A and B are shown apart, each in its own frame.
Chain A
Amino acid sequence: MLHIVACIKQVPDTKIIKMNPKTNTMDRASAPAILNPYDAHAVEEAVRLKKRYGGTVSVLTMGPPPAVKAIKKCIEIGADAGYMISDRAFAGADTLATSYALTKAIEKISKIKPVDLIICGKMTIDGDTGQVGPGIARRLDMPPLTSVNKVKEINVKEGYAVVHRKLEDGYEVIQSTMPCLMSVEKEINEVPYSSMSNMLKAARYQPIIWAVADLEDVDRPQLGLKGSPTIVSKVWAPTKPSGGTMLEGDAAQQSQQLLNILLEKKELFAVKGGSGVEF
């Protein structure tokens, strides 16, 4: 019986977040808080593995009290239990301090029920780093398997997993001992429309919430802002369109100018693997 922990985060929907042009700060109120879209796929994969191999799925998040909503969303997807660590001491954490705090929570969860597998989304849409998952794996001394786009096999008895890791030009098939940590790509699955029974379960669900004091062997200086090596020194807004440049001339001249603009962004058209174009 597998015990899978999915690490998730509530994030502002960065697709619609608005900037305050004067202060260059984000108007968080303008964007609803949602479950990080990559994490939905992580939870879904955990639920699928549970169905395939039997077991339970716990989700874990770190965040302020309203982040309970994100946990409920995971229950809708099919998770069995939700844990949240919430404390002022966690505030201002970068990826290093975040992976430390989550690791401490996973250690506590493991005491309730040993963890076989940890699944994270590829990255969060507000942090865009993808560093927390591998960080947790290192701290727990598990092999980190990033960019996973397929879980081919889990052998519970012999304790190994076989996954596909997405590469720029394909994928590699990796076998890893368990327990291990996977961070998954969106393409790994489609998150289906949740069943009504899961919706009702989620509506009633209350996660377990822990403060720092509830965790064990915590080295406080490693938490939150204090435990974060990186700091943001400056933010500015990238240029926004405001009635752009018109490209003049005849059709040939216009398309030539357009081509030059595209070539400035040629990295987007890079052929993965560099072995010729196959459009």
Chain B
Amino acid sequence: MSFEDYSGIWVFIEVKDGEVVPVSLELLGAGKELADKRGTELAGVLIGENVTHLADYLYEYGADAVYVYDDVIYKNYRTESYMKALLECCQKYKPEVILYGATSTGKDLASAVATDLPTGLTADSTILDIEEDTGLLLASRPAFGGNIMATILCKKYRPQMATVRPKVMKALTPEPGRTGRLIEETASIKEDDIRTKVLEIVQHTTKKVRIDEADIIVAGGKGLGSASGFQLIHDLAETLGGAVGASRDVVEAGWVEHHHQVGQTGVTVTPKIYFAIGISGAIQHIVGMQNSSLIIAINSDPAASIFQSSHYGIVGDAFEIVPLLIEQFKQAFNQEVIDHV
């Protein structure tokens, strides 16, 4: 394998309901930086049915070239068909880096492609960089349940591949009228070669989040005063799409059921955001949540030990602050959604 044969930064473009998903645009933004650093081209690989027109959109977001596989066979994502297209494209044009969104489609595809090439694949990266002279991709990611960050290298194989978490990278501001090269390709796969069929796609909205899997946990303690006061916790959790947690004394008081209990005798949790509201911060509780990525404490007692274990603390009345937050969050978030559409 001669590394000189490999050049260009590629982004797998994921299409959903005829539109490019946001993470693909974010990756074009990230990929552009890598490509500029290497003085090479940024390309998108676009696979789907009736997707060719999307190439123009991708140029505006930074792609210099777009490889297109447009065929009815790609109507729905299937590992075998998409993998085959990407593999053939890869073998023909030899990129040095391929980035994928860490979505169920992106991860599925990347894993299969990496095995067949074969090459190294770094999952769920959150930081990307590249060595200017060698082209070595430095993909960093949280590991061991977020306990450490690790930088992963793939020194001996090309292309280097990584899946990247959505919403971490920034898409470029689109440049209207920007154009690029379109390379139309056809893969050698036929419907009969594919062993899976998509029978149906069902969309549905979120359901209740399990506390040990939740990204967001809103936990309340005795400071909320009563079972009816604890309703505040449910309200905030619902607004944020998180799970409800509780300290031991709240569970013992019967305000919520035991499976909500966080701590030594309850569940150990490691969400991305942990709210501790009206929780004093006994060690039994702390051991169950201290590895959360972001801990926010609200307590009326400035001496509460929970503040020692929090990233952000608010001394104040939860019954004043939380309703305000719920209101503001709903407003702000609706705005966000509009921005994205």
Report the bound CA distance from A277 to B238 in whole Å. Answer: 12
Q: Which of B80, B144, B156, B210 counts the most chain A CB atoms within 10 A?
A: B144
Q: Are A246 and B314 in contact (CB under 8 A)?
A: yes
Contact present for B312 and A238 (CB under 8 Å): no
Residues of B within 8 A of A131 (CB): 107, 110-111, 114, 121, 123
B71-88 Cβ-contact flags toward A at 8 Å (1 or 0)? 000001001100000000
**Residues of A contacting B: mostly:** mixed
CA distance A122 to B328 in the complex (A): 36
Task: Give the contact-size bracket for chain B.
Answer: 35 or more
- What is the chain B residue whose CB lies nearest that of A241? B311
Pairwise interchain contact B104-A170, C-beta atoms closer than 8 A: no
Measured CB to CB, the closest approach of chain B to A180, in angstroms, equals: 8
Residue in B140, B148, B165, B206 with the greatest tally of chain A CB atoms within 10 Å: B148
Are B149 and A246 closer than 8 Å at their CB atoms? no
CB distance from B17 to the nearest CB of A (A): 8
Q: Is the CB of A130 within 8 A of B143?
A: no
Task: Report yes or no: A128 in contact with B216, Cβ–Cβ below 8 A.
Answer: no
A142 and chain B: residue at smallest CB distance: B195
Q: Which of B40-48, B50-58, B173-181, B329-337 is near enough to bind chain A?
A: B329-337
Task: Please give, as numbers and ranges, the residues of chain B lying within 8 Å of A278 by CB-CB distance.
Answer: 205-206
Instruction: Give the chain A neighbours of B198 by CB distance below 8 A.
Output: 172-174
Residues of chain B lying within 8 A (CB to CB) of residue A133? 111
Q: In the complex, what residues of A have CB within 8 A of residue B210's CB?
A: 186-187
5 contacts between A and B (CB under 8 A): A131-B114, A144-B79, A144-B112, A266-B167, A278-B206
Interface positions of A (Cβ within 8 A of B):
12, 14-17, 19, 24, 26, 94-96, 99, 125-131, 133-135, 137-139, 143-147, 162, 165-177, 180, 186-187, 228-238, 241-247, 251-252, 254-256, 258-259, 261-263, 265-274, 276-279
Which residue numbers of B lie inside 8 Å of A, CB to CB?
16, 22, 76, 79-80, 103-105, 107-108, 110-112, 114-116, 118-124, 138, 140-157, 165-168, 195-206, 210, 213, 215-216, 238-241, 268-270, 272-273, 287, 290-291, 293-297, 307-317, 320-322, 324-325, 328-330, 332-334, 336-337, 340-341
